[in-house]
Structure 1
Amino acid sequence: MKGLLRRSGHGMVSVASLALFILAWEVLVRLLHVRPIMLPPPSTVFVELWAERGWYLDHAWYTLLTTLAGFALAVIFGVAIAVLLVSSRWFESAVYPLIIAMNSVPKVAIAPLFVIWLGTGAEPKISIAFLIAVFAIIVDTVHGLRSVPNDVLDLGRVLKGSSLDFFFKVRLPSALPSILTGMKVAISLALIGAIVGEFVASQRGLGYVILSAQGTFDTPRVFAAIIVLVIMGIALFGLLAWLERAATPWRRPRD
């Protein structure tokens, strides 16, 4: 009960601080007579967002699907690669430097190549979202798999189970908190990757909305698209945070 009240109090503080920020933005923009093309007041942005809500939802849905597709691929391949890295020194020596090198390349620089290779559909956006997100999954999964306590490893060896039993019943549950932490980071990165792909070549998505609005100096539309992106990012992160709490109940703080 105390934990619920504490979380409710934190939520009210967050909502109040957001409301104060929006109010201060509105008041300062109007008092200082800032031109809407430079910084529109929140009221103008919300009117734009409400008037074209169906149009924004259609583009947001497209961005959401490409984000989730890239994220899903990142989780599948990231966990698989991490398992191989932990299981084989040879594989780690051969592949890990390549993974680090690929992560060091700015994805904006190689995004046009994906458009050349895969066309202008959803595929290049999904690929870029995957590339940006997968490194976080790999790093956190490797960390989790290698952070299993020695006494747990010794107990698993004493019980003399098969390698698969040892992995699924000992290593994977112990690494689950790190994997879920990596997923929380990766979902935000996947959203960034999807937007980068839409910036490069797209006729749909919130990235396309921002880019086209920039060309016509429609600043309220840019801010409206950004607000939708913020809501989407918070919702996805919150969903994974809930999944983390549900999958690792032993990590919940005591009231």
Structure 2
Amino acid sequence: MHLALGSVSAQHPSARPGSPAALRALSLNIEPGEQLAVIGPSGAGKTTLLNLLACALQPEHAAGFTLDGRAPWVMAQRERQALRAQLFLAPQVPPLPPRQRVVTAVLAGRLPQMSLAASLRSLFYPSDIPAAWAALERFDLAEKIFERVDRLSGGERQRVGLARTLLSDTRLWLVDEPLSALDPRRAEMAISTLVDEARARGVTLVATLHQVDRALAHFPRIIGLRDGALVFDLPAAEVTPALLARLYESHEHELSGTAPMPDQPAAAAPVVMHCR
């Protein structure tokens, strides 16, 4: 899927009137089948950019953003919804119903392409258990296929959300901070799987990452954002330490990057003692 932004600005949905734009005059051209990483300090506008690309956030000038040459916010709502069905947004914290089984949560990646009757039926009778198992296995989570979501750790839930991506029959993957809750071994496994699968399928992949070293190692193209503006758009081999220092000025601790916390079981609910 081809994406084009022409001097696009956008306001965060929760921003107060008069506050600075979250994205400022941003111009990008992303060719079909490209894989690129978006890096930058906290508050740079990375998640806002993904929401805009997912047609979940309207830019200030509707015609400034196009997908395959079509401006989503100039279309009728039904046409825009049909266009959204061709892309998949994986948020940092996947919205997984706590009582849902993992197999159902993963197969939900196919919901945009399913009829209403088929989607309702899949809630009770998972339609393709082997496909869900295979996707979970790519993220070292196949043994959890019949667990309830609320019994998973934060890192396991994040991997369920990534496995769901592999089940989506879409041409654009937008992945927000996919490694934030993963230990180093599983982080390497996850990012390798996403990039390799996107390349094999010819899917356009845009991922935001705090882990600069992994972005440089796995993505051929790197976008540097700061304060909602483009700092650089370069092949990974041309991103120098000097450019990174400029991008993360006053945020050096984010550039050095502490290792992500390993997967841990979700904290148990506190025990409340009642005195009589």
More strand per residue: 1 or 2? 2
Computing the radius of gyration from Cα coordinates, the structure with the larger value is 1
More helix per residue: 1 or 2? 1
The normalised TM-score by structure 2 is: 0.27
The normalised TM-score by structure 1 is: 0.28
